[in-house]
Amino acid sequence: MARILSIGSEFPSYNKTAVVSLEKGKEFVQITNEDHKKLGKWMVMFWWPKDFTFVCPTEIAEFNNAYNDFVDRDTVLIGASTDSEFVHAAWRRDHDDLRGLKFPMLADTSKSLAEELGILEENEKIAYRVTFIIDPQGIIRWVCANDLNVGRSTKEVIRVLDGLQTDELCPCNWEKGQDTLLA
Amino acid sequence: MDIHQDTLDAYNDLISYIGVSELEIRSTSLQSLVSGTSKYIRDTKYNLRTLSENETISKKEAALISLSIAVNEKNSLLVKSFTQKAIEEGANDIEIGEVHSCTSLMGINNVLYRFRHFSTNKEYETMPAKLKMNIMMSPVLGKEFFELLSLCVSSVNGCEVCVASHEQSVRTHGGSAERIFTAVRLSAVVKGLSSLVY
């Protein structure tokens, strides 16, 4: 099994279609890894295995309810799976909790991004339930992977995000230690 | 979405959260922050929001603390908006009035006690103040919160003796260190905000 891309790695380049609305003609946009970097923002991308399944909508709705918490923390929120943008749009139309979604649903139809991230499940080639936190320089700062049937906690993501963002604000410029003293 | 639009969104989000309209703001700081696409706008809203929607102080208490600092800073725009918030969270006229009087009383005491503390002549510490401070007797806001408010204003005004004694007093009346720290952080944030929005 491929190893999940982890802390310190650069998040892969991508240019993918995403569903951002159900308004005719305005459903789809292209999003890239440069978008959040240009705005100097952090990015949280959370993956789920398949649209139209059970655990996922509750999680997605929880992220949606916490949307403002991400905005306030200058963080772009993106949901993703290997489904196509049309499946995303159909699911969004179909499910009460998803109709008013405030963040994009990225379609990794070719599975190239999930593969590069090392989160592609071997049999069906669907994404594991993985959450990434990426800093404004495009570096992965946190990865959390759950097995297929376990939902994740949005509160925990925000807690970690707060912790990571606070790092940046420390005024003391830590410098790598001087020469060690010889005993 | 470009950075200018994002900054404008942040600006609108902030003033809407505070509860002021663009037309009411005379200061030009926010305009400068918008032109400078400053991240500070979002940070300001984040700081205000996380400290007002906190576990250790209620939303009503947060509004009243914010109000006291706005009064202290003579910021009529923020006084108006935090009064509104306090009312929305259930504060009545008597409670709001008490916030004003507590703030003003701290204005008095922060000078007086700081003077006594600064002066090398310790005679003043034995000379009675002879000032009426009746409102301290049985505050409608409750002793603990009244002391907490006093601590907040004293922290902003920078009276060492007042800060030390009110901090102890709050803890004696059952306030936790976490609660105290949240209240003071909120006061600090409102003080900072007061420079931007008036």
> Within 10 Å of residue A138's Cβ, how many Cβ atoms?
16
Mean pLDDT over A61-76 rounds to 95
Chain B: closest CA distance from residue A133 (Å): 19
- For position B124, which CATH number holds? 1.20.1290.10
Radius of gyration over every alpha carbon of chain B, rounded to an integer in angstroms: 18
User: Kindly report the CA angle at A64 between A90 and A138, in degrees rounded to 5?
Assistant: 95
CB-based contact B46 A39, cutoff 8 Å: no
Domain count within chain B:
1
Distance CA A11, CA A2 (A): 16
Distance CA A161, CA A3 (A): 23
CB-based contact B13 A38, cutoff 8 Å: no
Task: Retrieve residue B137's tokens.
Answer: 């007797």
Contacts of A39 in chain B (CB under 8 A): 1-3, 6
> Does the interface predicted TM-score (ipTM) exceed 0.85?
no
CB-based contact A71 B3, cutoff 8 Å: no
Distance CA B149, CA B140 (A): 13
Mean pLDDT of chain A: 88
Residue of B nearest to A74 (CA): B42
Which residue type does A170 have? C
pLDDT 10s digits, A98-129: 989 999 999 999 999 999 999 999 999 999 99
Nearest CA to B69 out of B27, B104, B93 is that of B104
What confidence score (pLDDT) does residue A53 get? 84
Q: Residues in chain B, how many?
A: 198
Chain A: closest CA distance from residue B198 (Å): 22
pLDDT 10s digits, A73-84: 999 999 999 999
Q: What is the dihedral of CA A114, A106, A49, A131, to 10 degrees?
A: 70
pLDDT score of A21 more than 60 = yes
Query: Is B2 part of a structural domain of the chain?
Result: no
**Domain residue limits at B141:** 56-196
- Asked if residue A13 lies in contact with residue A33, where contact means CB atoms within 8 angstroms, the answer is yes
Chain A: closest CA distance from residue B95 (Å): 31
Catalytic residue, candidates B69, B162, B163, B186 = B162
pLDDT 10s digits, B11-34: 999 999 999 999 999 999 999 999
What confidence score (pLDDT) does residue A59 get? 87
What confidence score (pLDDT) does residue A49 get? 92
Question: Does the annotation count B152 as an active-site position?
Answer: no
CB-based contact B3 A39, cutoff 8 Å: yes
- Percentage of chain B exceeding pLDDT 90: 92
- Burial annotation B143-162 (CB, 10 A radius, 16+ → b, else e): bbbbbbbbbbbbbbbebebb
Query: Is B87 part of a structural domain of the chain?
Result: yes
Question: Is residue A63 very low, low, confident or very high in pLDDT (cuts 50, 70, 90)?
Answer: very high
CATH class of A15-164: alpha beta
